[in-house]
């Protein structure tokens, strides 16, 4: 699939229901959170205070599932390959679309995703192990607290890519160009420093191989808001399934222009 639109159409028609890492190279991917209007202010403030895990790409008007900026022909209710439905902080369903769950008071948040910079890493000849191994990216809860905002609080979730030290340095330089896609790593090396007890047991996604001389490199992850949702327990929320992202019409170059 060559672009964001092609991926969205494959999701909408039910053809694609797998992770989106590596799809439509060069097109910006996004995490999704949908919340009732009376919870939107607290969540918007949570994103403002935690820009590394929650770099906002677009916030839609309440009741509108069609983006104004990132993909004008999209429908956020059908165009992702997997959703999660939450009630009072509990996961209650994992549907392929959310047409039957949509409400007129829902505000949709699109949050930048590390899959955006993976294309730049690959172009620089750097390894992206979960793409090599055709798995979902490994994601972990940490012991790093996010800044609270109203009813939202929780710990930072990170994604991990194993690299040699010199590759991690190059990756840092490249990711500095993408602050709206989680930017530079937050840690490398010993996972226990940030509260990860077993690198082989991710909390979300799949484990990947860490080879000799490689260190795990950790980036802030857009699954962080899902942990904050589970703590805040809003009566209703919709998110994407981790790793199953929204494909926008923005290219990586469009993202750079925002800064």
Separation of alpha carbons 186 and 27, rounded Å: 24
Which range, of 7-15, 42-50, 71-79, 237-245, touches a copy of itself by CB under 8 A? 42-50
List phi, psi (to 5°) of 92.
-115, -15
Q: Which of 10, 11, 35, 59 binds a copy of itself (CB under 8 A)?
A: 59
Does residue 71 belong to the site contacting a copy of itself (CB under 8 A)?
A: no
Q: How far is the CB of 142 from a copy of itself (least distance, A)?
A: 19
| Residue 55 DSSP class | -
Separation of alpha carbons 165 and 28, rounded Å: 27
Q: Which of 179, 195, 230, 231 binds a copy of itself (CB under 8 A)?
A: 179
List phi, psi (to 5°) of 174.
-70, -45
Which range, of 54-62, 71-79, 90-98, 185-193, touches a copy of itself by CB under 8 A? 54-62
Q: Which of 183, 185, 205, 234 binds a copy of itself (CB under 8 A)?
A: 183
Which region holds residue 35: left if phi is over 0, alpha if psi is between -120 and 50, else beta?
beta
Does residue 33 belong to the site contacting a copy of itself (CB under 8 A)?
A: no
- Taking alpha carbons only, the member of 204, 192, 194, 187 closest to residue 240 is 204
Q: Which of 22, 51, 89, 95 binds a copy of itself (CB under 8 A)?
A: 51
| Residue 149 DSSP class | B
Does residue 36 belong to the site contacting a copy of itself (CB under 8 A)?
A: no
Which range, of 39-47, 198-206, 214-222, 225-233, touches a copy of itself by CB under 8 A? 39-47
Tokens for 63, please give them: 């009741």
Q: Which is nearer to a copy of itself, 145 or 258 (CB)?
A: 258
Dmax of the chain from CA atoms?
Answer: 52
Separation of alpha carbons 55 and 58, rounded Å: 9
The distance in angstroms from the start CA to the end CA of the chain is 28
Site for a copy of itself in 136-155 (CB under 8 A): 147, 150
Q: How far is the CB of 155 from a copy of itself (least distance, A)?
A: 19
Q: Which is nearer to a copy of itself, 62 or 230 (CB)?
A: 62
Does residue 49 belong to the site contacting a copy of itself (CB under 8 A)?
A: yes
Q: How far is the CB of 106 from a copy of itself (least distance, A)?
A: 14
**β pairing state of 90-93 and 83-87:** antiparallel
Q: Which of 23, 44, 146, 157 binds a copy of itself (CB under 8 A)?
A: 44
Separation of alpha carbons 237 and 108, rounded Å: 10
| Residue 205 DSSP class | S
Q: Which is nearer to a copy of itself, 9 or 42 (CB)?
A: 42
What residue ranges bind a copy of itself (CB under 8 A)?
Answer: 40-41, 44-45, 48-49, 51, 56, 59, 61, 68-69, 147, 150, 176, 179, 183, 258-259
């Amino acid at each position: 699939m060559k672009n964001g639109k092609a991926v969205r159409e494959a999701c909408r028609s039910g053809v694609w229901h797998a992770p989106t890492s590596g799809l439509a190279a060069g097109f910006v991917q996004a995490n999704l959170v949908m919340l009732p209007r009376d919870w939107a202010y607290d969540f918007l403030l949570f994103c403002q205070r935690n820009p590394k895990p929650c770099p906002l790409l677009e916030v839609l008007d309440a009741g509108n599932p069609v983006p104004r900026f990132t993909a004008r022909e999209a429908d956020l209710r059908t165009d992702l390959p997997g959703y999660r439905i939450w009630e009072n902080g509990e996961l209650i369903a994992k549907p392929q679309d959310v047409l039957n769950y949509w409400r007129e008071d829902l505000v949709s948040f699109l949050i930048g995703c590390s899959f955006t910079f993976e294309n730049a890493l690959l172009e620089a000849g750097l390894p992206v192990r979960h793409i090599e191994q055709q798995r979902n990216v490994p994601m972990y809860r940490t012991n790093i607290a996010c800044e609270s905002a109203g009813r939202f609080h929780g710990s930072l979730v990170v994604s991990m890519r194993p690299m040699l030290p010199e590759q991690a340095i190059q990756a840092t330089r490249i990711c500095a160009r993408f602050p709206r896609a989680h930017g530079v790593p937050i840690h490398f090396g010993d996972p226990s420093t940030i509260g990860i007890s077993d690198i082989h047991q991710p909390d979300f996604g799949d484990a990947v191989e860490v080879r000799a001389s490689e260190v795990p490199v950790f980036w802030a992850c857009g699954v962080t808001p899902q942990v904050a949702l589970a703590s805040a327990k809003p009566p209703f929320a919709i998110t994407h399934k981790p790793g199953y992202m929204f494909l926008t019409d923005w290219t990586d170059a469009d993202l750079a222009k925002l800064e």
